[in-house]
């Protein structure tokens, strides 16, 4: 009997069940997003994505994440997964290679029958995996990585689970991009603070030299610069030594005429 033929009460029960299932899935994905998108370093975000994939994706027994657009697996997988990732990098074939190459979704129901990757698939089977599912992680048009799911059973990922995996991959791409952007910004701020600190130390050293040597600010700076080149030290290091010790930096020797 089709859904259209069910009595009204039965249709209402079916509809309610579908709605409850959809609400539960939405809550499940929201919980995943909350954990995945928590602020963190890029390396931490990558490990978190791998852990969440195994813990929350139905049918998934192992997972791997290649980031920065290259086969550089996140340090969260098992030894067999690390070996399979290394094989993909060396052979230039496999799910992650295809995902990084631009394919959005790659699904192989049974690696035992696969002929696309003659080196990778037999090795994956030897390690006990029969299904493979991979997603390209893209953000604002750029590939930021690839997520691969492994299963010990053939045909382990049905259409619903593959769709759920696509949503998971979207969250993963966003989480990686946000973590990478945060690291870039933190690095920029650190460089700016370091530059400001260096300028302050150099200014203090100039002041000391101006007072001791009775020279101008420009002359003091040139003295610091020449000493930096002669000693093969950074200008800030020479200036810090002047501030700490009050010692006038050594002038480079004058070459004989």
How far is it, in rounded angstroms, from Cα 180 to Cα 24? 31
Q: What pLDDT is stored for residue 3 in this prediction?
A: 41
Range from 72-76, 151-155, 200-204, 224-228 carrying the lowest mean pLDDT: 72-76
Neighbours of 63 (CB within 10 A): 23
User: Which domain CATH number covers 154?
Assistant: 3.30.450.40
Provide the domain count of the chain: 2
Q: Minimum mean pLDDT among 5-19, 25-39, 170-184: which range?
A: 5-19
Evaluate if residue 255 carries a pLDDT over 80. no
Segment 113-141 mean pLDDT: 93
Percent of the chain exceeding pLDDT 70 equals 75
Same domain for 18 and 110, yes or no, is: yes
pTM over 0.85: no
- In a domain, residue 197? The reply is yes
pLDDT level of residue 16 (50, 70, 90 thresholds): low
Is the per-residue pLDDT at 150 higher than 50?
yes
Of 180, 195, 218, which residue constitutes the final position of a domain?
180
Model confidence at 134, pLDDT cuts 50, 70, 90, reads very high
- Boundary residue ending a domain (180, 210, 228): 180
Are 207 and 226 part of one and the same domain?
yes
Residue 152's pLDDT is what?
A: 95
Residue at a domain's end among 137, 159, 180: 180
Q: Determine the structural domain holding residue 219 and report its residue range.
A: 186-245
CA distance 224 to 231: 10
CATH at 205: 1.10.10.10
pLDDT at 227: 84
Q: How many helices (H) and strands (E) does the chain have?
A: 8, 4
pLDDT of amino acid 124: 95
Q: Please report the pLDDT score of residue 2 as a whole number.
A: 41
| 250 within domain boundaries | no
Q: Is 67 in contact with 46 (CB distance < 8 Å)?
A: yes
Provide the token pair at 22: 């959809």
The residue-averaged pLDDT of 221-245 equals 85
Spatial distance between the Cα atoms of 106 and 132, rounded to a whole number of angstroms: 8
- 257 in any annotated domain: no
What is the arithmetic mean of pLDDT over 88-117? 92
Mean pLDDT value across residues 7-35 = 56
pLDDT at 103: 92
Give dist(CA 157, CA 155) in Å, integer. Answer: 6
- 129 contacts 151 by C-beta, under 8 angstroms: yes
Residues 174 and 201 in one domain: no
**Helix then strand then coil, % of the chain, to nearest 5:** 60, 10, 25
Q: Is the pLDDT of residue 248 over 90?
A: no
Provide the phi-psi class of 128: left if phi over 0, else alpha when psi is between -120 and 50, else beta: left
Q: Is residue 252 part of a domain?
A: no
Please, what is the average pLDDT of the chain?
79
What pLDDT is stored for residue 159 in this prediction? 93
Mean pLDDT of 117-135: 95
Question: Which is nearest to 248 in space by CA: 194, 232, 196, 219?
Answer: 219
169 shares a domain with 197: no
- The reply to whether 194 and 219 lie within a common domain is yes
């Amino acid at each position: 009997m089709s859904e259209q033929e069910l009595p009204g009460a039965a249709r209402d029960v079916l509809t309610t069940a579908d709605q409850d299932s959809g609400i539960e899935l939405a809550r499940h994905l929201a919980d995943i997003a909350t954990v995945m998108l928590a602020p963190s370093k890029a390396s931490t975000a990558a490990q978190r994505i791998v852990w969440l994939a195994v813990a929350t994706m139905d049918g998934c027994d192992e997972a791997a994440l290649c980031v920065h657009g290259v086969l550089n697996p996140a340090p969260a997988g098992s030894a067999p997964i690390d070996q399979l990732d290394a094989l993909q990098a060396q052979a230039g074939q496999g799910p992650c290679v295809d995902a990084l190459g631009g394919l959005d979704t790659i699904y192989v129901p049974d690696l035992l029958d696969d002929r696309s990757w003659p080196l990778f698939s037999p090795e994956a089977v030897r390690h006990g995996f029969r299904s493979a599912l991979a997603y390209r992680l893209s953000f604002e048009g750029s590939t930021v990585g690839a997520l691969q799911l492994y299963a010990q059973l053939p045909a382990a990922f049905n259409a619903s689970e593959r769709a759920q995996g696509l949503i998971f991959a979207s969250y993963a791409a966003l989480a990686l991009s946000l973590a990478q952007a945060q690291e870039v910004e933190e690095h920029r701020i650190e460089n700016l603070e370091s530059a400001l600190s260096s300028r302050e130390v150099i200014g203090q050293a100039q002041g000391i030299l101006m007072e001791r040597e009775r020279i101008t600010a420009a002359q003091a700076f040139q003295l610091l610069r020449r000493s930096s080149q002669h000693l093969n030290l950074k200008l800030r290091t020479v200036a810090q030594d002047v501030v700490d010790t009050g010692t006038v930096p050594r002038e480079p020797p004058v070459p004989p005429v």
